[in-house]
Amino acid sequence: MSTQRERFEQILRQVVAPDYIEDVLSIEGDGYAEYGTVLAWDVFQMAEKLSTEKVDNPVETSPLTSATRDVLAERVRQMEIEWWTPERDDLHTSGELAEAAAAYASEAARSFGGLPGSWPWALEWWKPTTPRRNLVKAGALILAEIERLDRAVSATASDKEDL
C-alpha cells in the first residue's frame, strides 16, 4: 500500500509533462516548492479525507472516482504547466472560462474538427484530444470558473464590510 504522498505524486506524474515533473515535485523544507503543487497537495489531502470520512450528514461519503481525481489533477496541471492560476483566472470576468469548458464538452459530444465558435481564446490554446480527456478539461475549467465566481462574491462582501 502506498502512502498518501506517493499516490499524489503518481497522479501528478500521469498528467504533468515529463519535462516539468521534477520542477513540479521539487521539495523545499518540509513541503513542495511550487505554489500550485502546494495547493494541489492541500486539495488532494482534503479529497482523500472526504473519501474516507463522514461529512455533515449521516450518510457516509463514497470514495472519489477516478473521473473526479482526473478533473482535480487536470486543474493542478492547468495551474502548474499552463499558469492558469487563480489570479489569472480572476482577470476573465466575461465568462471565458465557462465558454472554454463548454467548447471542450461540445467537442467531446461531437467532434467538430475545427475551432468552435464559442472558443474564447487564440487557436494555440485549443487542444482537443479524446472525448474523455476533453470532458476532464471541461470539468477542470468549470471548477476554475466556480472558484473564480466564489472569490468575486467573497471580494465584494469584503469590500462592503470595509465601507
Domain span at residue 36 reads 1-83
What is the predicted pLDDT for the residue at 7? 80
What is the predicted pLDDT for the residue at 67? 93
DSSP class of residue 54?
Answer: B
Q: Is residue 97 domain-shared with residue 149, that is, in the same domain?
A: yes
For range 30-38, the mean pLDDT? 74
**Using one digit for the tens of pLDDT, what is the confidence trace for 101-140?**
999 999 988 877 788 888 999 999 999 999 999 999 999 9
What is the predicted pLDDT for the residue at 1? 40
What is the predicted pLDDT for the residue at 17? 73
Q: Is residue 107 domain-shared with residue 29, that is, in the same domain?
A: no
Q: Hey, what's the cell of 140?
A: 477542470
Q: Is residue 37 domain-shared with residue 101, that is, in the same domain?
A: no
Burial class (CB in 10 A: 0-12, 13-18, 19+), 82: exposed
Least Cα distance to 72 among 147, 122, 21 occurs for 147
| Half-sphere exposure for 138 (CA within 13 Å, toward CB) | 19
Q: Is residue 106 domain-shared with residue 145, that is, in the same domain?
A: yes
Q: Hey, what's the cell of 111?
A: 467532434
